[in-house]
């Protein structure tokens, strides 16, 4: 009896000891997968909100703000180096109020502090984003990733925190004044961005857009800049559409050079399909291994447009493989798609996570697998697939890419896919975001000109979005599977969802989708529009939006495009008036820096040349939708089914062409829609 009593005592002590060894902070109550990743740090993290701000004010402590997301490699590195370190945690807990923000949950907070970083450092930001604030949230320091110890001349986090704490104790007024100056500058930037410009935009905007992009174009490898190199999907789409509108050869040349290079490069998963977020080198070979839904959604549109325009099998294959991967790995049972997969993945032998481990190959293991599968000349096969003995990474592993003139056969890819399928797949952030899913829906509808089944997938996804994220007449930003959404919709959610609903209306001709698009716009204008300015979010913490793109296309530009489409489809000029107000207020960006606003340029062109709705006899619409490209490449066409046998072409305020003969109608249409370069 005594033995059993002592046994339970020891078990209880051991259990309590284990519980004490596992720290828990306030993030444990949050749903965000990113915040949950930090819930067991020894740092006393708090979520963004009143409780954290009141604590900072009450204790007169500066705020340590860290912004990141769940699949970010350098966020993980900073966590392992610093936020799991007891010494760093002790300094943060004693002298600061640490706040964690998931930038995917609160993009408006991230957008604001990325701008703070640009102003304070004169460099672009990124993640993790590190900001030091006064208790009343005035920024006095900004950085991105900071190593724990000094490295390559960069101060270490521990030393930086200790110095900042001492300076705050001795000279809080000095840091407060810095915060006031930065806040004032931010207010000036906000006022400048929201000011009504009314600058005249010259008629040659598309030509100037292309010329500006040519100046920074990498003629050897495609893309823009050196490294890191991002896909810039909306820029590619704009170049393709400008070529379709004007025949500008330079636009198509840049787009194709880049699309081909990425499709053959390591930024594209050569074994399974879908794109990584960006390339760390200028040749597209070594990516940052995150796969983001928005990256693939926007590139899906660009490749689908290129495939339709050129008929090239390479672009069609990229579309098909990308959709296949997204459906296989990223689709939830409710019909929506997950947001991202991690850059890091587990090495089963070391039990440590390494960047890109799942996607890369050691030469010997790959050679052994090909030999076992009896692939002829396996050494040459690996060379063709970009897998070498020395590798192309510091760990001597290879990230596959296709050399010039080489092809990695499908049979070899299947063997390599089976080999890596034995490894744990990277962590997938299962957040279901309205804006990113709506982007994918738009990409799928665009790709449906290649395969009609993609339209069915798009429609099913939109129905799931409406069912899961549109509750009681309000759109929500995101949710986790099986949970009720809590974060109210942002302007980006409304913008991209309206675009998807208009796509669904055109494809299905179901007026319910058009009605929903109109209702969403009315709600968006009520919540995000104030005296000529569109904001990214509701409430006190919000930013005026511009036509300039960021990680993906500008939600404001998408909204302006929605309005032009609504105007034509509903024959209501008030929508065009709202679109033109956006273009007028944002005219300075388009006039001076068009390359920064590719979607804005497309919207201006759509307004300049006009969306045209083709009213087609209902029985002929499905077939004619695919056949129309044989007659005209005009990029701003919309479709409506009608019961009569008359074919008509109409702009927002007039119909300009009609005929009862289909071929005659299409030939006249092609002549009327020609635009001079």
Instruction: Look over the chain and give the mean of its residue pLDDT values, rounded to a whole number.
Output: 94
**Does a structural domain hold residue 352?**
no
Q: Is residue 46 part of a domain?
A: yes
Q: Return the CATH number at 466.
A: 1.50.10.10
CB burial of 297-310 (b: ≥16 within 10 Å; e: otherwise) equals bbbbbbbbbbbbbb
Tokens of 454: 């993609």
pLDDT at 626: 85
* pLDDT tens profile 363-392: 999 999 999 999 999 999 999 999 999 999
Token pair belonging to 150 = 């000094």
**Average pLDDT of the segment spanning 333-359:** 96
| 3-class secondary structure, 32 | coil
Tell me the two tokens of residue 48: 């963004």
> Does one domain contain both 92 and 116?
yes
The answer as to whether 677 is a domain residue is no
CA distance 277 to 285: 12
Q: Are residues 141 and 240 in the same domain?
A: no
Residue 176 in any domain: the answer is yes
Residue 498 sits in the same domain as residue 576: yes
- 128 upstream amide cis, omega within 30 of 0: yes
CATH label of the domain that carries residue 66: 3.40.30.10
Characterize the bridge pairing of strands 97-102 and 46-47: parallel
The residues near 335 (Cβ < 8 Å, ≥ 6 apart) are: 460, 461, 463, 464, 468
Within 10 angstroms of residue 1's Cβ, the number of other Cβ atoms is 5
**What pLDDT, on a 0 to 100 scale, did the predictor assign at position 46?**
98
Same structural domain, 410 and 325: no
Instruction: Judge if the upstream peptide bond of residue 513 is cis by omega within 30 degrees of 0.
Output: no
Q: Structurally, how many domains does the chain consist of?
A: 4
Instruction: Quote the pLDDT of residue 21.
Output: 57
Same domain as 623, residue 599: no
Beta carbons of 625 and 639 less than 8 angstroms apart = yes
Q: What pLDDT sits at residue 2? A: 47
Residues 138 and 270 placed together within one structural domain of the fold: no
In the prediction, which pLDDT does 196 show?
Answer: 61
Asked, for residue 354, whether it belongs to a domain, the answer is: no
Residue 353 lies in a domain: no
Q: Which of 35, 147, 162, 26 is nearest to 90 (CA)?
A: 162
Statement to judge: residues 306 and 227 lie in one domain = yes
pLDDT greater than 50 at residue 653: yes
Percent of the chain with pLDDT over 90: 89
Joined tokens for residue 422: 């034995």
| Alpha carbons 131 and 100: distance in angstroms, whole number | 11
- Which has the closest alpha carbon to 478: 25, 39, 100, 70? 70
- Partnered with residue 143 across adjacent β-strands are 130
591 & 463 share domain: yes
The range of the structural domain enclosing residue 43 comes to 2-194
Spatial contact of 637 and 569, defined as CB atoms under 8 Å apart: no
Sign of CA dihedral 615, 616, 617, 621: negative
Cβ neighbours around 361 below 10 Å, total: 23
Indicate if 97 and 138 belong to the same structural domain.
Answer: yes
Q: Residue 298's pLDDT band (boundaries 50, 70, 90)?
A: very high
Instruction: Among 194, 229, 247, identify where a domain stops.
Output: 194
Last residue of a domain, which of 422, 445, 469? 422
**Residue listed under structure tokens 């929500």:** 476
- Let me know whether 266 and 292 are in one domain: yes
CA 48 and chain centroid, separation: 23
Segment 550-574 shows an average pLDDT of 97
Residue 351 domain-assigned (yes or no): no
* Shared domain check, 303 and 162: no
Q: Is the pLDDT of residue 571 over 70?
A: yes
How would you class 209 by CB atoms within 10 Å of its CB: exposed for 0-12, middle for 13-18, buried for 19 or more?
Answer: buried
At 179-224, the pLDDT tens digits run 999 999 988 877 776 666 678 898 999 999 999 999 999 999 999 9
Q: Which of 522, 597, 535, 512 is nearest to 563 (CA)?
A: 522
Domain end point (choices 564, 587, 609):
609
Instruction: Say whether pLDDT at 14 is over 60.
Output: no
DSSP assignment of 629-662 equals GGT---S-EEEEEESSS-EEEE-SS-EEEEESSH
Six-digit token pair at 612?
Answer: 């045209």
Tell me, yes or no, whether 332 and 386 share the same domain: no
In a domain? residue 581: yes
């Amino acid at each position: 009896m005594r033995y059993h009593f002592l046994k339970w005592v020891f078990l209880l002590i051991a259990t309590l000891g284990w519980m004490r060894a596992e720290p828990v902070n306030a993030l444990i109550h949050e749903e965000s997968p990113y915040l949950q990743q930090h819930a067991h740090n020894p740092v006393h993290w708090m979520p963004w909100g009143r409780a954290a701000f009141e604590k900072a004010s009450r204790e007169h402590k500066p705020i340590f703000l860290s912004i990141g997301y769940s699949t970010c490699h350098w966020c993980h590195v900073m966590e392992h180096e610093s936020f799991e370190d007891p010494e760093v945690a002790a300094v943060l807990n004693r002298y600061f109020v640490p706040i964690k923000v998931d930038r995917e949950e609160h993009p408006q907070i991230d957008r604001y502090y990325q701008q703070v970083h640009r102003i304070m450092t004169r460099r672009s930001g990124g993640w993790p984003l590190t900001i030091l604030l006064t208790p009343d949230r005035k920024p006095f320091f900004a950085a991105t990733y900071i190593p724990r110890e000094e490295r390559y001349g960069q101060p270490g986090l521990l030393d930086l925190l200790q110095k900042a704490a001492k300076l705050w104790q001795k000279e809080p007024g000095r840091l407060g004044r810095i915060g006031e100056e930065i806040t004032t500058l931010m207010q000036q930037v906000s006022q400048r961005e929201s000011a009504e410009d009314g600058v005249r935009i010259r008629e040659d905007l598309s030509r100037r857009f292309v010329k500006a992009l040519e100046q920074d174009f990498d003629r050897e490898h495609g893309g823009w800049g050196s490294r890191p190199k991002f896909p810039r999907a909306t820029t590619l789409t704009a170049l393709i559409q400008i070529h379709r509108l004007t025949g500008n050869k330079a636009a198509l040349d840049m787009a194709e050079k880049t699309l081909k290079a990425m499709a053959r490069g390591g930024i594209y998963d050569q074994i399974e399909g879908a794109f990584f977020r960006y390339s760390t080198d200028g040749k597209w070979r070594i990516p940052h291994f995150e796969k983001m839904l928005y990256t693939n959604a926007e590139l899906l549109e660009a490749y689908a447009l290129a495939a339709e325009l050129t008929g090239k099998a390479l672009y069609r294959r990229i579309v098909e493989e990308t959709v296949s991967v997204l459906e296989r790995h990223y689709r939830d049972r409710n019909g929506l798609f997950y947001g991202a997969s991690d850059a890091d993945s587990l090495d089963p032998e070391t039990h440590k996570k390494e960047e890109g481990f799942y996607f890369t190959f050691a030469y010997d293991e790959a050679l052994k697998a090909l030999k076992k599968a009896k692939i002829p000349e396996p050494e040459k096969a690996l060379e063709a697939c970009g897998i070498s003995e020395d590798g192309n990474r510091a760990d001597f592993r290879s990230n596959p890419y296709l050399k010039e003139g080489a092809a990695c056969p499908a049979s070899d890819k299947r063997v390599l896919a089976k080999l890596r399928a034995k490894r744990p797949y990277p962590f997938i952030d299962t957040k279901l975001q309205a804006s990113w899913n709506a982007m994918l829906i738009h990409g799928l509808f665009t790709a449906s000109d290649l395969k009609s089944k993609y339209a069915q997938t798009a429609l099913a996804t939109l129905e799931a979005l409406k069912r899961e994220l549109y509750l009681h007449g309000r759109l929500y930003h995101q949710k986790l599977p099986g949970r009720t959404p809590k974060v109210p919709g942002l302007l980006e959610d409304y913008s991209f969802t309206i675009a998807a609903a208009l796509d669904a209306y055109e494809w299905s001709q179901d007026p319910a989708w058009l009605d929903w698009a109109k209702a969403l716009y009315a709600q968006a204008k009520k919540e995000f529009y104030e005296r000529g300015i569109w904001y990214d979010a509701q409430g006190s913490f919000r930013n005026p939006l511009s036509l300039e793109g960021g990680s993906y296309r500008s939600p404001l530009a998408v909204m302006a495009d929605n309005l032009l489409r609504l105007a034509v489809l509903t024959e209501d000029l008030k929508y065009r008036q709202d679109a033109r107000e956006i273009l007028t207020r944002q005219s300075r960006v388009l006039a001076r820096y068009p390359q920064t606003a590719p979607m804005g340029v497309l919207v201006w062109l759509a307004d300049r040349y006009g969306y045209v709705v083709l009213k087609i006899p209902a029985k002929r619409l499905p077939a004619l939708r695919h056949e129309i490209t044989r007659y005209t490449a005009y990029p701003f066409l919309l479709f409506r089914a009608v019961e009569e046998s008359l074919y008509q072409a109409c702009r927002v305020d007039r119909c300009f062409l009609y005929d009862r003969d289909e071929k005659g109608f299409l030939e006249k249409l092609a002549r009327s829609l020609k635009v001079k370069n």
